[in-house]
Each structure stands twice: as structure tokens, then as C-alpha cells.
Chain A
Amino acid sequence: MSGSEGGDGGGQTSAITVIRRETYRTFHDGLRVALSTPGVILLASSAGFGALSDDAGMSLFNALLMMGTFFALPAQVVMMDQLTRGGSILAGAAAVALTGVRLVPMVVTILPWLTDDRPAVWRRALAIHAVAITGWLEGHRILPSVEEGRRTQVFLGIGTGLILTTQLGTLLGFVLAGSVSPILAGVLLFLTPIYFLLSLMAASRRTMDWLSIMIGSLMGPAIYVIAPGFDLLLTGLIGGTLAYVVGSRFDALFAAADEEADE
């Protein structure tokens, strides 16, 4: 699904499971995710955020603070965008909230992996703070193979590793953006949208997901021209609902066709 690390896809045999069990056992093992392919991508995209912050006139301290407290790049970019353009803080918060809604199903689906060792409330709060697209994908990839009773520990390691990665990335991007050529700075800024888009595609499985991406990309700029300030909100609600309605019909149709073919 995540397809981020070649060679181990779909390994269901017990031998592989045993090896994996030995691979991820502790907080420390979790930290290593920072050095994997998704970790490097996250480093690059948080460098994109750092560059964006510098571009918007944010202080380095505030950029690092935002990266740490939100720990979700889309929300950060939305908020910064709103503040730079002098929009109201309340409208910014509303748009942030809408991007935050997508974290709900992520937490709901990762939670079954984080209850096995009955973590204290503060440890669970820390663990779920790390839930964003990368942490979620990596959690689903790694946690099933971790021995019961150790999963929260490992996930805390994954989260800490990813948070440190994004702090470093933000710092690098912020410093580099001011000192590299304009084109290189442009490329740094470009990392954010392309990372978002391809992450959405990497997580897409059914027709509905692809429809949401297509409708959202077409509708977003159009609504931005008509009703700037509410564009993200409206694109999400109208475009997403449209994709949901049409997509569920299509997916049901495909499912029915598959069943017929099986008979």
C-alpha cells in the first residue's frame, strides 16, 4: 500500500514475521524510521515548509513551533497562507479544522494497534500527536509485525523520529531558502504541493479516492477565484461529497461486476 520500501511488500509468511518482530521492539527501533525512505521524503517536504515560512516572513522560532505543535503540513500551510494574506484568524482556524478532520479516521484506524499495552493517557496523547500521513502509513506498515505489548513503545519511537526529522527539515529549508538561487528556492517551495498530491495518490485505493483528487484539483482553483478565503472549505465539502456520491456508485458497480465474473 505505502509501497515505500521495496522488497518486503505483502510478506505474510511466518519466517518474515519473525524477522520483523526482531526488527522492531523498542522505542529506539522506532526512531530508525527517520532514516527510511518515508523519513527522507518527510525531511525534504518539511524543508519545503521551512522555505515557505521564510518566504512568508515567519521567524525561524515560529516555523519550528508551528511544525512541532501542528505536526501536519497541510494545516500549517493553510494557516500560514491565511496569516500572510492578512485573512482573519478565525477563518484560518476554520480551514485548519477542516484539514484536521482527515486525522480523525487516521487516529481511529491506528488506535487498535496502540491499546495492547494499556498506555498512560499522556503517552497515548504523545503517540497520537505523531499521527499525520507519514506516521500513519508507517504505523500501519510496521506495527502489525511488532510483538503485542510493545507497539505503543515502538510507535512513540516512530513519532519522535519523524518529529525530529521535521524539525531538522524545517531548519534546513528555512536557512537554505534565503541563501540559494531563486530557482532552487522555487523548487524547495514546490516540494510541498507535489508531496501532498503524490501522498494522496499513494493512499488511493478505490474510484472514490481518485475522484476526490480530480474533483478537488479542478474545483479548488475555480472556487478560489470566485470565493477566496472559503475556497478550501467549499472545495472539501462540495467536491468531497460529490466524489463520495459518484464514487460509491462506481465502486458498487465494480464490486458487482467482479462478483459476476467470479460466478
Chain B
Amino acid sequence: MSEGFLATPEASLIIVLVALLAHEPFRWLGVYLGRGLAADSEIFVWLRAVATALVAGLVARLVLFPAGALEVIPLTTRLIAVASGIAIFFAAGRQLGAGVFGSAMVLLALGYLFH
């Protein structure tokens, strides 16, 4: 789309650096903490809530304010697909696959219908 910084070798370097300095250390931190802390201690319960809220926020933003080609599909259609995905997920006994693929099928069908 753009003549893109994201296609350059400089971007490769940044990707590796951010992965190594801002992301992978949390896996190592887990190894370090895992020696002394119980996995169900309160701090992890809280961290889990923080991470869950963060990712849920990201999901809502990706659906409501998509950046690229998803904009082609109208907001109402996107919301119906999310709602159907959740419904199919529960109807199928909390099966992740059923929910994800069912939701994608609904989006595909509605996308073609209303386009």
C-alpha cells in the first residue's frame, strides 16, 4: 500500500530488536518467577485480567475501526459476524474452530449479499 518503511531492512532490524527486548523477556521472566511464585497467586490473577482487557480492547478496535481492506465490509455486517461467531461458539459447546470459521462464513455470505 505505502512505499513502506515496513518493507525495508531497517524494519527487519526493528522487528528483531522489539521482539528480543520488549517481548521475549516476558517469557524469560516467567521462567524466573516460576521458580518461586505459585501460578495462582493474586498478582497473576490481576495480570491476567489486565492482559484480557487489553486484547479485548484491541479486538473491539480492529472490528470498529479497521485500518485496511476490512473497511470494504460495512460496520453492521462486521458486528453481525462477531455476534454470530459468539453464538456459534457457544452453540457448539465452546468450540473455538466452529466459532471462528462460522463467523468467517457469515461475514463472507453477508459481504457478498450486500456488496
Contacts and interface: CB of A to CB of B under 8 A. Distances in A.
B58 A196 contact: yes
Contacts of A23: none
B58 A244 contact: no
A81 interface: yes
Interface residues of A, number: 109
Contacts of A65: 12, 15-16
Contacts of A177: 69
Nearest to A244: B49
Contacts, number: 331
Contact of B100 (A92, A94, A108, A198): A198
Interface of A: 2-4, 6, 37-38, 40-41, 44-45, 51-53, 55-59, 61-62, 65-66, 69-70, 72, 74-75, 77-81, 83-85, 89, 92-94, 96-109, 111-112, 124-125, 128-129, 131, 177, 182-187, 189-202, 208-209, 211-221, 223-224, 231-233, 235-237, 239-241, 243-244, 247-248
27 contacts: A38-B97, A56-B1, A65-B15, A72-B23, A75-B23, A84-B2, A97-B22, A100-B22, A103-B27, A128-B30, A186-B72, A193-B82, A194-B81, A195-B100, A197-B59, A197-B82, A200-B52, A201-B89, A202-B94, A212-B52, A216-B60, A220-B60, A221-B60, A239-B53, A240-B49, A243-B49, A243-B53
